[in-house]
Structure 1
Amino acid sequence: MNLFVIIKSLLAGLPNTVLILVISFLLSSIIGLLVMWISLQDDRVSRGVARLYTGLSRGTPPLLMLLLSYYELPKLLQFVGINAQDWSKNLFAIFGLAVGFGGYMGEVFRAAFESVDQSQFEAAYAVGMQRKDVLKEIILPQVFQIALPNIQNMFLDFLKASSLVYVIGISDMYRNATNLANVHQGVFQLQIFIVLGLIYWLITIFFEYLFKLYIKKNTYI
Structure 2
Amino acid sequence: MKLSRIVTTLLSGLPVTLTLLVFSFILASVIGLGIAWLSLRNNVACYSVARLYLGLVRGTPPLLMLLLAYYGLPKLFLLVGIDINDWSKLFFGIVGLSVGWSGYLSEAFRSAYLSVDKGQYEAALVVGMNSSDAFWRIIMPQTVFIALPNIENLVIGLVKATFLVYVIGLFDMYSAATDLSNQNQGVYQLGIFVVLALVYWIIVLVIEWAFRSIKKDYQYITG
- TM-score bracket, normalised by the shorter chain, equals over 0.9
The 3 A distance-change label for structure 1 pair 80 and 135 is farther
**Does 2:130 align with 1:111?**
no
Q: What amino acid is the match of 2:61? A: P
The within-5 A match list for 1:1-221 is 1-126=1-126, 127=128, 129-130=130-131, 132-219=132-219, 220=222
Deviations 1:100-139 (A, max 9, x none): 1111001000110001111233233332513x44333322
SS at match of 1:29: helix
Deviations 1:56-91 (A, max 9, x none): 111111000000001111110111121111111111
CA distance in 2, matches of 1:58, 1:134: 33
The 3 A distance-change label for structure 1 pair 136 and 81 is farther
CA distance in 1, matches of 2:175, 2:3: 18
- Unpaired runs of 5+ residues, structure 1, are none
Identity of aligned residues (%): 52
Moved more, 51-60 or 155-164: 51-60
**Corresponding residue pairs, total:** 220
Q: What amino acid is the match of 1:116? A: V
Q: What amino acid is the match of 2:130? A: M
TM-score by length of structure 1 reads: 0.95
CA distance in 1, matches of 2:160, 2:63: 12
Deviations 1:177-205 (A, max 9, x none): 01111111111111111110111011111
SS at match of 2:77: helix
Q: What amino acid is the match of 2:85? A: Q
Q: What amino acid is the match of 2:153? A: N
- Unpaired runs of 5+ residues, structure 2, are none
CA distance in 2, matches of 1:124, 1:95: 40
CA distance in 1, matches of 2:138, 2:83: 43
The 3 A distance-change label for structure 1 pair 119 and 188 is same
CA distance in 1, matches of 2:134, 2:165: 40
Q: What amino acid is the match of 1:104? A: Y
Deviations 1:131-150 (A, max 9, x none): x4433332222211110111
CA distance in 1, matches of 2:150, 2:176: 31
Q: What amino acid is the match of 2:96? A: G
CA distance in 1, matches of 2:124, 2:218: 23
